Amino acid sequence: MDTLFYIAAKIAWFLIRPDSVILLLLVLGLWLLARGRQRWGMRLAGAGAGLLVLLALLPLGGLLLRPLEAAYPPDPSVTEVAGIIVLGGAEVDDVSAHWGQPNVNEAGDRFLAGIALADRFPDAIVAFAGGSAYLAGPVVEADLAGAIFTSAGVDPSRLRLEGRSRNTAENAVNALGVLGAEAQGTWLLVTSAYHMPRAVETFCAAGWTGLVPWPVDHRTRGAGRALGWNLAENLRDLNTGVKEWIGRIGYRVTGRGVSPDTAPGCLAQP
């Protein structure tokens, strides 16, 4: 069932992601124009082109990302920490496999925070959850994470690496299974700020307790950013925001995510 959900989610997202919709409008519009359907061809192609221009000028993705990133404050106050768990997604597995060394993407702040927290709390366990975002990736994310942490000076005896999960729901369940009794106490949950609400709800649904959200990799900016021309970044942020909201709803509907308010003890008390 988990594999079926994983495949269905991948297919659905490919079809409804904003850049796919825009491309579909352009392709259908041009196809209709080529067949002499001028009215509908112009409408669809014009809609696709208009959306591209609008996205290039306006950071619309920020409207979706901002409430997600504001859900949990950065650098919360903590004292005693049993463990730190970093979620996968910052690794570039195919590039890492090609060059034979770990490579990270724009979410690399997850590793920076994990390394810094490992140094700040030297007695804490350092866990990582992530296998491959594909059915058969070239490398396992957990292997890359282990190499990154050990190269930064983290004692291998502190590491707990979970390398079978393919999404956030499996991160939560599989990591809890790997840690067992070690999952007790206060645990810092490290992931991108936009992803934190869904991650928290998923970990709560999986039965985690004592979590402290530690959001990093913020994408939104202050109000000073006005009109500009940045299609690539704006489209990326819109894709990310739409994916998170849809994923959050999908997880709630399928029971893979619950509100922390309905899971007593999931979040550590301040």
| pLDDT of 136 | 53
Q: For 2-54, what is each residue's pLDDT tens digit?
A: 677 777 777 887 888 898 899 999 999 999 999 889 999 999 999 999 989 98
Q: 56 pLDDT exceeds 90?
A: no
Which one, of 199, 221, 217, 240, lies nearest residue 109 by Cα? 217
- On whether the CB atoms of residues 83 and 127 are closer than 8 A, the answer is yes
> What span, in angstroms and rounded, lies between the C-alpha atoms of 200 and 71?
11
Looking from the CA of 231 toward its CB, the CA atoms found within 13 Å total 10
> What span, in angstroms and rounded, lies between the C-alpha atoms of 112 and 62?
24
- The pLDDT mean for the chain works out to 91
Q: For 221-232, what is each residue's pLDDT tens digit?
A: 865 555 677 888
Residue type, 130: G
Which one, of 90, 199, 192, 203, lies nearest residue 141 by Cα? 90
Residue type, 131: G
| pLDDT of 223 | 57
Q: For 115-158, what is each residue's pLDDT tens digit?
A: 999 999 999 999 999 987 555 556 789 999 999 999 999 999 99
**Residue 247: partners with Cβ closer than 8 Å, 6 or more residues away:** 9, 168, 198
Question: For 98-117, what is the mean pLDDT?
Answer: 94
| pLDDT of 221 | 81
Question: For 67-80, what is the mean pLDDT?
Answer: 95
Cα angle, residue 133 at apex, residues 137 and 16 outer, rounded to 5°: 130
Query: Which pair of structure tokens corresponds to residue 107?
Result: 């979410």
Question: For 239-265, what is the mean pLDDT?
Answer: 95
